[in-house]
Chain A
Amino acid sequence: MTASDALFLDRVSHDFGKLRAVDGVEITVAAGEVVCLLGPSGCGKSTVLRLSAGLEALQQGRIAMRGQIVGDAATGRNMAPEHRQVGLVFQDFALFPHLTVAANVAFGLTALPAGERQERVREALAQVGMLDYAQTYPHALSGGQQQRVALARALAPRPALLLLDEPFSGLDARLREQIREDTVHLLKASGIATLLVTHDPEEAMFMADRIYLMRRGRVEQAGRPSDIYYRPLNAFVASFFSVVNELPVQVVAGRVETPFGPLPANGLGDGQPAQLVIRPEAIRFDGPAAGAAGAMVEEVRFLGAAALVRARLTEGAHRGRLLVARLAGNGMPPMQGEAVWLSIANQGVFVFSGA
């Protein structure tokens, strides 16, 4: 932890009755950094967010913001949410229905004199392009507009940390991409430290400087999006970001036997069960060569910029196994029924222990 870190969670655990929702989590958000908490629903990511905001009483561990302890289970210190200087944006936006857009944004600015407050409201609304709607009531806004007002409301008091709880999942798909892009630009421009909770890996990779991938209350892996994508620590992490091909393989003399020739066993001992994980885009159609496996194309789905090809291995120990390949780039995809040679790329192929 450094004094400049906007948020630091130190071995934080949290129980709901008998259920351990958060289990020894350590998370850092540096100043100006956008960090995503990613994971399937129920993994504890929202609880981490609520603990950080002070909406949930801390049961175990410590939480610090900018070097100051705001929560410490050992001493019972638990700073109230209204004193933590955090901005919150919710999935349902939680705009106050009885207040205009401007009054919503001004809600957190009571400490300022009236003139300055108005100026700040204008500034915040201009930032999100909602100045024209200042006197509108929330119910008259579209989902995307509500999201922008919620963001302006959270940013207006210039909090030390912005917490976003699934802020885009209430929006429909087309709008989501646009708003997501606008938001990430806004966050970067304002330089605010942000912790964003999402279950959507694509969103996390798009938004985040760093990702914490959680499962069952624990952090499975943390790192930059590309690190997590190309250097997953286990099969769960690898498969969370895309559909993957999983093949059980044998470790023989420090190597695993695969349809595409032997690969390093990643330190697994001989005879240990191992698992080969191949991302669909790591499968190539290169023609016969060393390390190529014969296969028969069963199905081709053309997606425009890419094609999904299902091919069944026709030789070797894994004969009869169906693989999914994602074929990007130019050129015609193979035809159904065509005999092809499959080989694998350097990136996107992993060996893990396990059945």
Chain B
Amino acid sequence: MTTFSSDLTTAPRRAFRLLPRWQPWTLSVCLMAIAVAAPIVVVFSHLAKPNGELWHHLATTVLWDYIANSLLLMIGVGIGVVLIGVPAAWMVTLCRFPGRRLFEWSLLLPMAMPAYVVAYTYTGLLDFAGPVQSVLRNMIGDLVPLGWIPEIRNLPGSILILTLVFYPYVYLLARTAFLEQSSCVLEVSRTLGCTPWRSFYRVALPLARPAIVGGVALAMMEALNDFGTVQYFGVDTMATGIFRVWQGLGDADSAAQLAAILLVFVFLLLAIERWSRGRQSFAHTTTRYRPLPRYQLSGWRSAGALVGCSLPILLGFFVPAGMLLGWALNNTEYWMTWGFLGLIRNSFTMAGTAAVLAVLLAMVMAYALRLHASRLSNIAVRIASIGYAVPGTVLAIGVLLPFAALDHGINAWTKAQFGWMPGLILSGTLVAVTYAYLVRFLTGSFNIVETSLGKITRSMDFAARSLGRSPGGTLVQVHLPIMRGGLLTAVMLTFVEILKELSATLVLRPFDFDTLATKTYDLASDERLAEASGPSLAIALVGILPVILLSRAIAKSRPGEGEAEGEAGDHTDAYLPSLADPHLTAPAIAEK
């Protein structure tokens, strides 16, 4: 079979080229790579700075608590998401029990709400005036023993909340991995004498392991990134530490040093995740699929599966959503206001602008790879799509420090030259926030854009050219119509992610500029939980959109049960950064 390489015409592949050709596509992706790497480099550069007095103080007091809490949180969430995600994926893909099809997509529902929203709804649920204590008081009178009420605002509570919100990563990846295993492989293991359970442990699980590891690494990255939950629960982690040292104590250098340590952990996870991605391609043993034979569960097993699948959905989605709805309906006066509309306008314009920009940049990256693949552009794209791993607080520091320095420099210069100062141009403006969003969310939109561009085969390009279209005509008449669904999906998903983002927004936003996320955080921090329900419900409603898309994709794209024709559906899997790897799909040379 002949595969058309993406670029045989102009870039003969060599192992090493001394002088890169500064071709416009390559140049653009290189600039993007530099822009994405800059905050990371800035943060790491602080490791080389001499330690200040405050740092010494930190190291002797709370630093080790920060590190220990972050590690415990990460490990706890890692274990939690495996315990929920893997069995759930196994049950819905390889067993048959009542409600299986419903669970297949509804297990994704907890992705709709950001962790910090779930965190404060649980606080409200369990506090003195909350429904749980009220019901208990009604049942057994005023003397509810203290130990009866579980304390949620601590480390185990944070682990529980983050597990509930992030297990869908593992579920989604493990489910795909189980689905992609050939039913033949499982049947062979049965004929070789394995029981269903032994087949699971000896064949299905090892084959799915790389995907599971990838999902866990992602969930752990998100756990390290989390700021809202741990801050609200008063758990001192690296993420909150950075925030406190900087905002509270005003020591940017120490904050950056803390951030650098956090980045080291993140990059370890990133390495694991990348490794697992490389391994996933080996698990595809066949391209021939048949509908998977499912084991019929009956009796107590069936009931167990039912409970096992509903519990995470109930706890991760319906309980917090119910709390939010209840608060919002009972306290309409808090959010049926002009101020609330302003919040929505702020959030939507900011997230919308950044999402469109992110997708445009993602298109530049995808086309650079398609039209002028070279070693250099490959590396540049790899760097430019690393941002999803960088925690929001770290990113905020990495953006603000150089921007502040730049502003300072500009003002000093204009003052010297013209005796006039323009004020803050970059830091503390929407420019800084947008830049941070682009760095962090470019990965997701790039993966989707690249996936949809990959559907347009090289021979379609050639067919269009031979039928009389110029390259521009091919773009407009072939590429854009085919990619339209993917591009819209990319904009939408990026929009939602930005809307939910808290920590970077909190730090980088202009003075007095509130979004739905920051308002939720502010109100919840002041224990005005009912008032926070308005903005959080708005976030949750928008957050449902990707879940709908993903579940549509799930319903349509069962291997062996017909290919997906979905416009939007089949791009969404790519939104998990690990599901579509640009570097595994790197062009292969034809006609060696």
Contact = CB atoms under 8 A, between A and B. Distances in A.
12 contacts: A15-B12, A16-B591, A54-B465, A55-B462, A55-B466, A57-B9, A80-B470, A92-B459, A96-B464, A97-B455, A98-B481, A165-B2
A91 B462 CA distance: 12
Contacts of A80: 465, 470
Nearest to B1: A91
Contact of A19 (B463, B469, B592): B592
Given A15-B12, A17-B14, A90 B462 contact: yes
A108 B457 CA distance: 18
Given A15-B12, A17-B12, A17-B14, A94 B459 contact: yes
Interface string B175-186: 000000000000
B315 interface: no
B486 to A, nearest CB: 12
A56 B477 CA distance: 22
A71 interface: no
Contacts of B477: 107
A17 B470 contact: no
B460 interface: yes
Interface string A103-119: 00001101100000000
B590 interface: yes
A265 interface: no
Contacts of A55: 462, 465-466
Contact of A88 (B462, B470, B478, B591): B462
B589 interface: yes
A46 interface: yes
A100 to B, nearest CB: 12
B18 interface: no
Q: Which of B464, B590, B591 has the most CB of A within 10 A?
A: B591
B155 to A, nearest CB: 51
A193 to B, nearest CB: 15
Contacts of A46: 2, 590-591
B482 A53 contact: no
Given A56-B9, A166-B2, A42 B470 contact: no
Given A17-B13, A44-B591, A94-B459, A86 B482 contact: no
A223 to B, nearest CB: 24
A55 B1 CA distance: 18
B462 A153 contact: no
B587 to A, nearest CB: 13
B591 A21 contact: yes
B482 A90 contact: no
Nearest to A55: B462
A88 B463 contact: yes
Interface string B8-42: 11101110000000000000000000000000000
A169 B565 contact: no
Contacts of B481: 98
A21 B477 CA distance: 33
A22 to B, nearest CB: 9
A94 B462 contact: yes
Contacts of A57: 9-10
Interface of B: 1-2, 8-10, 12-14, 455, 457, 459-460, 462-470, 477-478, 481-482, 563, 565, 589-592
A137 B10 CA distance: 35
A17 B590 CA distance: 12
Given A16-B12, A16-B589, A91-B2, A108 B467 contact: yes
Contacts of B478: 96, 98
A92 B3 CA distance: 10
Interface string A145-172: 0000000011001010001011001000
A270 interface: no
Q: Which of A46, A97, A166 has the most CB of B within 10 A?
A: A97
Contacts of B462: 50, 53, 55, 81, 88, 90, 94
Interface string A52-91: 0111110000000000000000000000111010111011
Given A16-B8, A42-B591, A94-B459, A153 B467 contact: yes
B482 A97 contact: yes
Nearest to B460: A94
A97 B481 CA distance: 9
Q: Binding site of B, secondary structure by majority: helix, strand, loop or mixed?
A: loop
Nearest to A42: B592
Contact of A157 (B14, B455, B467): B467
A224 interface: no
Contacts of B1: 41, 91, 166, 169
B459 A90 contact: yes
A139 interface: yes
Interface residues of A, number: 43
Contacts, number: 96
A108 B466 CA distance: 8
Contacts of A56: 8-9
A97 B460 CA distance: 10
A47 interface: yes
A53 B2 contact: no
Contacts of A111: 468
Contacts of A98: 478, 481-482
A81 B465 contact: yes
Given A81-B465, A91-B2, 20 more contacts: A16-B12, A16-B589, A41-B2, A47-B591, A54-B465, A55-B465, A82-B465, A88-B466, A90-B459, A92-B457, A94-B457, A94-B460, A94-B463, A96-B482, A97-B455, A107-B467, A110-B468, A157-B467, A157-B468, A163-B466
A172 to B, nearest CB: 14
Nearest to A83: B468
Interface in A26-48: 41-42, 44, 46-47
Contacts of A87: 466
Nearest to B473: A82
Nearest to A90: B459
**Which 8 A-B pairs have CB atoms at the shortest separation, nearest pair first?**
A108-B467, A94-B459, A90-B459, A81-B465, A17-B12, A88-B466, A94-B463, A98-B481
Contacts of B590: 46
A199 B12 CA distance: 26
Interface in A211-228: none
Nearest to B462: A55
B189 to A, nearest CB: 30
Contacts of B563: 139
A101 to B, nearest CB: 14
Nearest to A81: B465
Contacts of B469: 82
A111 B459 CA distance: 23
A90 B591 contact: no
B586 to A, nearest CB: 16
B191 to A, nearest CB: 28
Contacts of A108: 466-468
A80 B12 CA distance: 20
A263 B482 CA distance: 64
Contacts of B466: 53, 55, 81-82, 84, 86-88, 108, 154, 159, 163
Q: Which of B2, B12, B464, B589 has the most CB of A within 10 A?
A: B2
A166 B4 CA distance: 13
Nearest to A89: B463
B73 to A, nearest CB: 46
B591 A153 contact: no
Nearest to A93: B459
A20 to B, nearest CB: 11
Contacts of B465: 54-55, 80-82
Nearest to B14: A17
Q: Which of B13, B457, B467 has the most CB of A within 10 A?
A: B467
Contacts of B591: 16, 21, 42, 44, 46-47
A57 to B, nearest CB: 5
Q: Which of A46, A50, A165 has the most CB of B within 10 A?
A: A50
Contacts of A166: 1-2
